Structure 1
Amino acid sequence: MLAAMPDSAPSPLSVGGPSPRDGGDACPGTLRLHRADDGALARVRVPGGVLSADRADALLAVAGRFGDGELHLTSRGNVQLRGLDAECGGGPAELLGAAGLLPSAAHERARNIVASPLAGLDGSPSVGGWLSELDGLVCGSADAAALSGRFLFALDSGRGDVDALGADVTLIAEGDGCLLRVGAADEVFRLRAADGPRAALLAAEAFLRAARDSGAWRVKDLPDDVRAALVRAIGAAAGPAVHHPRPAAPKVPVPGLVTAPDHSTTATVTATAPVTVTVTAITVGVPLGRLAPAQWRLLTETARRYGNELRLTPWRGVIVPGPFGPSELSDHSGSSGHSGPASEALDTLAAAGLITGPDSPWTGVGACIGHPGCAKSLSDVRAEAGAAVGPVGRLPVYWSGCERRCGHPHGEWIDVVVTPDGHRISHVRGEHRDPRAAVRDNPAELAAAVAAARA
């Protein structure tokens, strides 16, 4: 097991004195709201994206009572409530706290944990035990309250999905043990599975000591020598290092039916002839991550009818675990040709405007909030993304209203950024950016350029 980092650890891990980060982390939460052009914004941390139906109801109630009624999914599987009244005071936090969504006021912005959303459903092991334990450890650590709202934990079931997101501390299931990754380092440390959550917390606390003089919010922001010293110190306490490069791109759940492990190890069925399988979950995408009240209620009602749980994904999707029972499948295009309760649920969700199959033109399309919600945005990129929706592309596309690119994906994608001179289109692969086109004031040309880049 990873031992606690000693106070006498070599510099820079044991540097004392006040932190230059004491100026404050501006990342919003439920107690510290962000002032946006469309009203105040609250970001509700949902560790692992896991919500009971009752807690989902509570979120909708807060959005309807204090905000614009809609729920916005983030790239960390959290929920944003927008358009909050400036006079709402502590009302939202009071309701969320009563629902169990705010277990520690001191740690509410530190509870950033993503988890493999299909864990335990598609043949990969469950990470639910890790999730509960790590969340409890974070909330029980006085030091962890100093983690910024940007710091991220990831719990990967071995699929390589959330390991690809560039978290600060990642646990990866491997056989009867696990691997611990710090930042984007290719060297990971092998641990007993039972020791994983404690090791993740201790690594985060070690980061805080390393960051005291650097002003870093995340592991990647540390100076190279400080980051290397941090990884060495963690490794010395954790155990042997193993070469395990981080995946270049996440394995995103495909909208559709998730089947029992003995029939499929993928997120969606690919049968070419009728076959009866057990459906363990359904997964849907949410266009631009924006859920109207009726859509949220429908998802919650579906969850309550089956497994009583929703899993929000870091790719702005929602998984409803079952079991849904047997289903006869004859193709892999959404719910067409399928029969059974899961297929009927997918048909209902599709009619409500959600993405239920890989052939939807909205598959892989994302955008920041844009104008008029954000003062820094130079354009209404959500409207532009909708106007440019066309055939499904090989690569995802993300539209940003300014150079900040809030909420952009990881791995490989087509980057559309609004600049004072028009829209700049680039092909992004990790840290590499390949400019493709620049389009000025021509919607048809812009749509064509984006479609060509995605293909």
Structure 2
Amino acid sequence: MPTPARVRADACPGVFAPHDAADGPLARVRLPGGAVSAAQLRALADCAEACGDGDLHLTSRGNVQLRGVTRPGLAARLTDAGLLPSPSHERVRNVLASPLSGVRGGLADVRGLARDLDAVLCATPELASLPGRFLFAFDDGRGDVAGEGADVCWRATGSSEGTLLLAGGDTGRPVTRADAVAVLAEVALEFLRVRGSAWRVAELDDPAWRGTPVPRLPADIPAGLIESGGGFAAVVKPRFGQLSAAQARALAGFGPALVTPWKSVVLPDVPADVFERLGFGGAELGTSACIGRPGCAKSRADVRADAVFRPGLRVHFSGCERRCGKPSQSHVDVVAEAGGYRIDGRWVPLDEMEGKL
């Protein structure tokens, strides 16, 4: 059933239209396909220190946020680093791509497709008016980003063949890899023509924008070393998806990186001792949280301080009912209330949290 169309203005944050958070302006930097070069990662670390709170905050769309941006110069720094190719399109460059494509698994290599779509987006003036929440995706056939709720997605069915998904449903329309970028851009233009007040494809009433629901598959990538074509790749999962500027620079020392929708980072080509050299990798797998207090005025608690970690258990701590940053996969839902938390709908006092998860 279609979701009711939105009536308020689209306030999705960007660089030129930051969100006014309790800890200062929050700027979101889009990384199509999650791809970021070593030089760009260093530039983001510099931006975090020079303009923000000193950290990079990874998002559930494979982007990066800078918090507490109270000092000037961010846009100029990002432009110099090639991270703002089109100011008019900066909030619509929302593109996911299977982060392990070309590293291990998958039916097709989708590397480069997000970059090519980004170029088309930025070169098409009409597409600058897409809502900031509209999401594109390229799935290499393993079903990882196909389950992330993209408005329009190309999913591989072979090395050069695929199908078109709309709002997570398979339309059955065959699309070759060579045509994938053009077709996704065409669908986005058609959405603009028919959207009315809708922000997402799922909000359209027309059944022509539906497909057969695709089963959601486990998609998160465990932290650790991955054998890849005789070499190694690494998945780094920082606590709460938060990297200090120093950690970001350390990652950049191993070349280009990919930020995943699961708040982790893939380093495609690394030595076997990468984690020893990094000194961090992310032990609290499965636990995520919104920013909480003091960063968000709507939060009822400092959820990151209260978070309880259980290996192998996916849990998301939220400071309020908005549940910002919650994973799309099945998880234990923990929401702050006065004096405690509601765990999957059951209220638990704060001092009993440890034994209830």
- TM-score range relative to shorter protein: over 0.9
Structure 2 Cα separation of the partners of residues 207 and 79 of structure 1 = 26
Q: Deviations over 1:110-151 (max 9, x none)?
A: 000011110000032321231121111111112211111111
* Contact 1:257 1:279 (C-alpha < 8 Å) held by counterparts: no
TM-score normalized by the length of structure 1: 0.74
1:422 and 2:355 correspond: no
Select which of 342, 367, 383 maps to 2:289.
Answer: 367
CA distance in 1, matches of 2:332, 2:350: 19
Residues 122 and 374 of structure 1, relative CA distance in 2, 3 Å threshold = same
CA distance in 1 between counterparts of 2:323 and 2:8 reads 24
Distance 1:144 1:286 in 2: 34
Alpha-carbon distance, 1:161 to partner: 0.6
SS of 1:109's equivalent in the other structure is: helix
How far apart, in 2, do the equivalents of 1:156 and 1:250 lie? 14
Q: Secondary structure at the match of 1:418?
A: strand
Q: 1:347 aligns with which of 253, 276, 281?
A: 276
5+ residue gaps, structure 1, are 1-19, 232-240, 262-277, 325-340, 427-434, 451-455
Q: Which residue of 2 aligns with 1:62?
A: 47
Matched, 1:96 2:78: yes
* 1:377 maps to 2:299: yes
Which of 80, 101, 113 is matched with 1:119 structurally?
Answer: 101
The separation in 1 between residues aligned to 2:69 and 2:155, in whole angstroms, is: 38
3-state SS of paired residue (1:172): strand
- What code does the residue aligned with 1:448 have? G
Question: SS where residue 68 of structure 2 aligns?
Answer: strand
Identity of aligned residues (%): 44
Matching of residue 315 in structure 1 with residue 300 in structure 2: no
Unpaired runs of at least 5, structure 2: none
2:19 matches 1:51: no
- 1:183 maps to 2:167: yes
Paired residue for 2:348? 439
Q: Tell me, what secondary structure is at the counterpart of 1:412?
A: coil
CA shift for structure 1 position 421: 6.4
Residues 314-348 of structure 1: per-residue CA shift (max 9 Å, x gap): 111111111x4xxxxxxxxxxxxxxxx32x11223
**Cross-structure match for 2:224:** 256
Aligned partner (choices 299, 309, 325) of residue 389 of structure 1:
309
| One-letter code aligned to 1:53 | A
Counterpart for residue 265 of structure 1: none
- Residue 74 of structure 2 aligns to a residue whose secondary structure is helix
SS of equivalent to 1:248: coil
The aligned amino acid for 2:335 is V
Find the structure with the greater CA-based Rg: 1
Does the alignment pair 1:194 with 2:178?
yes
Q: 1:315 to 1:123 in 2, by over 3 A?
A: same
SS class of match (2:178): helix
What secondary structure is seen at the aligned counterpart in 2 of 1:299? helix
- What's the CA shift for 1:195? 0.7
How many residues align? The count is 351
Structure 2: which amino acid aligns with 1:48?
A: G
RMSD, aligned CA: 1.9
Counting only pairs closer than 5 Å after superposition, residues 246-325 of structure 1 correspond to structure 2 as 246-260=214-228, 278-301=230-253, 303=254, 308-322=255-269, 324=270
Q: Please, what TM-score do these two structures have when normalized by structure 2?
A: 0.93
Using CA pairs under 8 Å that are at least 6 residues apart, name the structure with larger relative contact order, 1 or 2: 2
CA contact (8 A) 1:370 1:381 kept: yes
Distance 2:117 2:49 in 1: 31
